[in-house]
Amino acid sequence: MFEATTILAYRDDKMAVIGGDGQVTFGNTVLKSNATKIRTLYNNKILSGFAGSTADAFNLFDMFEGILENQKGDLLKSVIDFSKEWRKDKYLRRLEAMMIVLNRKNIFILSGNGDVVEPEDGKIAAIGSGGNYALSAARALSRFSNLDPKELVEESLKIAGDLCIYTNKNIKILTLED
């Protein structure tokens, strides 16, 4: 994982949600506390989040959005094509970067190694330095609380912010609902 950020995505029968903290670090210095590391893609039908270099994020988001356009928003085909392109490009495959993309039906983790991973439960995915903290919190909260998906993501990211020094509590959240 990266000493970078925390991105958490969650989807259920009601909605899809992605959230991210706002901290940008360089070594042991906080450069910015209110960055936006999540965005909507393809006519606000796809949610995405990024862990890694900010400059690389913009390039990867643009590349992925172009593939989404070519595939007419088909997320499964797009992640496979994106993975192939990311892996083939000599520059891009050296990036230490990860992305989460999701819609109402699917959720995927993408890496620069060409990995396309659908979480085992198909509902919760997390990346970044605080990803495992947020993932653990989200799993517990999904089992033992009545929080709605947006609240679950927010609370899980706050817990990650309590534990990970590269994650803060300046949280941004995006949702897709029916």
**Catalytic machinery residues:** 5
Q: Structure tokens of 103?
A: 């819609």
Q: Structure tokens of 112?
A: 């620069």
Distance between start and end Cα atoms, the chain: 33
Q: Is the dihedral of CA 94, 98, 101, 106 positive or negative?
A: positive
Name the residue type at position 60.
L
Going edge to edge, which strands form the sheet with 98-102?
Answer: 38-41, 46-51, 98-102, 107-111, 116-117
Nearest to 37, CA basis, from 104, 98, 115: 98
Are 125 and 107 in contact by the 8 Å Cβ rule? The answer is yes
